[in-house]
């Protein structure tokens, strides 16, 4: 048995998608987290794998901790995850787009204004989760003709492609890649736009991690023994 | 037992349209009925496709190709099913809910329901609650099927059910829901009558809901 920390607070461990890496690196003050662990992005393409990877990372933390999950519900990838001996803190969002936009409300507004939007984030670009990469993979696997048909079937209803970053710098960095994807997506009449969100959500997340009683409805808190459930997010 | 059913299920899983159509012809030549071929071959294959997709052992492109193979087989069977004098077992109104433009799953459910003897009225995608309400008034279906791919849009399923309630139509139809983020618990929470985890499960549910299973 180790003695509890003098100030009675749980040690903080951060387990996050790589998409959050630069944001967290800037915003997590030294000394806040005992450990920060980034998991591969692109796990969102297979939510079941995400569940498994995150659960494994949680279970590997030996001491009862406040574990901050740098994820959203992510296509139900977090649904069913068990806190075990830990307390979990999670942004109450569907996915990283809301985090990059700075708030869940902003995401909902964007969504309502233009449902036919395909969002690109730095993480999705780097992990190859975008239509151009998908086409290339399909073409290699199934031949160009089937690849065209598969892509049309999946994307023909989209109207807009939006690159979302949390600052101007990332926008400059990822624009060339996003524009390549945009050029490809023009076949479905999709237009290209850019949105600079903010780091407000992650700033708040870090604040709440340091003082859990400040968690409001922008966050989900799961006590030890609890389970992450979809309805906490919906 | 004929293994042609197994072969047929396999080519559906593999997404081989040419073989699917050829095997259906072969089955008919061997004296099997259209209904037998559909139920024991094509639908079994699609059922396995759904299960594998759910487990992450199959991905969207493979599912789409399987659906094409199923469609190819169904195309041969359709005139025979129609002329066999089998009565329509019910009417289904289908749509992907407001804000969501993903229609692959919904189209699959439509195809499966049609194959099993339903009249299917497909409202398309991004369908607002009012349009479901209007469609129920106009077509008087037995079942309304709501689809969504995203957690961001699944909320609209609840709004749609509410709209049916407010229009006084909820009691007149059964509502089933499906799509990647949906589960039985969610279905229950929003007051749906059932949930289908894949296209075949959706079709079986529709049959149950009209008492034809």
Identify the CA nearest to A184 among candidates A142, A151, A140.
Answer: A151
A154 Cα to chain B: minimum distance (Å): 7
Give the class (CATH, top level) of B90-209. Answer: alpha beta
Mean pLDDT across B93-116? 94
Identify the CA nearest to B151 among candidates A231, A165, A129.
Answer: A231
A112: closest chain B residue by CA:
B99
pLDDT score at B195: 97
pLDDT tens for A131-141 read 999 999 999 99
Mean pLDDT across B65-83? 91
B167 or B55: which carries more pLDDT confidence?
B167
> Would you list the domain boundaries of chain A?
12-95+199-232, 103-196
List, run by run, the mean pLDDT of 10-residue segments along chain A (234 residues). 58 93 91 93 71 96 97 91 98 93 92 92 86 95 94 94 94 97 97 96 96 95 97 91
B33 Cα to chain A: minimum distance (Å): 32
A83 Cα to chain B: minimum distance (Å): 20
Whether B90-209 and B4-83 are alike in CATH topology: the answer is no
- The yes-or-no verdict on residue B186 having pLDDT over 60 is yes
Measured in whole angstroms, the distance separating CA A4 from the mean position of its chain's CA atoms is: 32
- The yes-or-no verdict on residue B166 having pLDDT over 70 is yes
- The yes-or-no verdict on residue B1 having pLDDT over 60 is no
How much is the ipTM here?
A: 0.83
- Judge: A115–B56 Cβ closer than 8 Å, yes or no: no
pTM of the model: 0.87
Question: H/E element holding B95?
Answer: strand B90-96
pLDDT score at B160: 98
pLDDT score at A7: 54
The domain defined by B4-83 carries CATH number 2.60.40.1510 = no
Q: For residue B139, how many C-alpha atoms fall within 13 Å in the half-sphere facing its CB?
A: 21
pLDDT score at A73: 92
Mean pLDDT across B36-64? 89
- Judge: A157–B99 Cβ closer than 8 Å, yes or no: no
pLDDT score at B9: 96
pLDDT score at B85: 67
Query: What are the strands, taking DSSP E only, across chain A?
Result: 12-17, 33-39, 66-70, 87-91, 117-121, 160-165, 191-196, 219-222
For residue B202, CA distances in Å to A166, B31, B115, B116, B133 come to 40, 29, 12, 11, 21
Structural contact between residues B202 and B50, judged by C-beta atoms closer than 8 angstroms: no
pLDDT score at B213: 67
Residues of A in contact with B150 (CB under 8 A): 75, 94
A46: closest chain B residue by CA:
B56
- A12-95+199-232 architecture in CATH? 3-Layer(aba) Sandwich (3.40)
Q: Is A152 exposed, middle or buried (0-12, 13-18, 19+ CB in 10 A)?
A: exposed
pLDDT score at B36: 92
Identify the CA nearest to B79 among candidates B28, B17, B44.
Answer: B28
pLDDT score at B116: 85
> Would you list the domain boundaries of chain B?
4-83, 90-209
pLDDT score at A4: 46
- The yes-or-no verdict on residue B54 having pLDDT over 80 is no
pLDDT score at A6: 45
Mean pLDDT across B118-144? 97
């Amino acid at each position: 048995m180790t003695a509890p920390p003098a100030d009675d607070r749980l040690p903080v461990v951060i387990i996050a998608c790589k998409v959050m890496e630069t944001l967290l690196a800037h915003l997590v003050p030294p000394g806040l987290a005992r450990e920060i662990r980034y998991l591969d992005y692109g796990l969102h393409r297979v939510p079941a794998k995400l569940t498994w990877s995150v659960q494994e990372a949680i279970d590997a933390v030996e001491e009862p901790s406040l574990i901050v999950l740098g994820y959203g519900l992510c296509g139900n990838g977090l649904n069913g995850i068990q806190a075990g001996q830990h307390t979990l803190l999670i942004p109450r969002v569907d996915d990283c787009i809301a985090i990059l936009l700075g708030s869940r409300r902003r995401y909902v507004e964007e969504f309502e204004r233009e449902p036919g939007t395909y969002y690109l984030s730095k993480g999705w670009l780097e992990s190859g989760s975008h239509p151009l990469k998908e086409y290339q993979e399909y073409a290699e696997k199934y031949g160009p003709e089937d690849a065209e048909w598969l892509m049309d079937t999946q994307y023909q209803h989209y109207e807009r492609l939006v690159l979302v970053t949390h600052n101007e710098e990332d926008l400059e960095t990822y624009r060339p890649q996003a524009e390549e994807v945009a050029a490809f997506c023009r076949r479905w009449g999709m237009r290209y736009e850019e949105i600079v969100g903010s780091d407000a959500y992650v700033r708040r997340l870090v604040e709440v991690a340091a003082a859990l009683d400040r968690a409001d409805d922008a966050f989900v808190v799961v006590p030890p023994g609890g389970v992450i459930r979809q309805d906490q997010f919906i | 037992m004929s293994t042609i059913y197994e072969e047929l299920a396999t080519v559906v899983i593999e997404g081989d349209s040419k073989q699917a159509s050829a095997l259906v012809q072969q089955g008919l030549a061997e004296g099997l009925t259209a209904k037998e071929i559909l139920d024991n071959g094509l639908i079994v294959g699609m059922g396995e496709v759904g299960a594998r997709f759910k487990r992450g052992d199959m991905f969207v492109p493979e599912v789409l190709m399987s659906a094409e193979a199923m469609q190819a087989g169904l195309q041969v069977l359709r005139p025979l099913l129609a002329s066999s004098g089998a009565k329509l077992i019910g009417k289904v109104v289908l749509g992907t809910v407001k804000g969501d433009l993903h229609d692959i799953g919904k189209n699959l459910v439509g195809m499966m329901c049609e194959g099993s003897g339903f009249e299917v009225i497909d409202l398309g995608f991004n369908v607002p609650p009012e349009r479901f309400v209007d469609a129920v008034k106009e077509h008087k279906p037995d079942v309304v099927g709501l689809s969504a791919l995203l957690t961001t849009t699944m909320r609209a399923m609840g709004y749609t059910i509410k709209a049916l309630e407010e229009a006084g139509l909820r009691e007149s139809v059964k509502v089933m829901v499906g799509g990647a983020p949906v589960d039985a618990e969610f279905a229950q929470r929003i007051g749906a009558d059932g949930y289908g985890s894949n296209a075949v499960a959706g079709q079986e549910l529709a049959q149950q809901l009209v008492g034809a299973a």
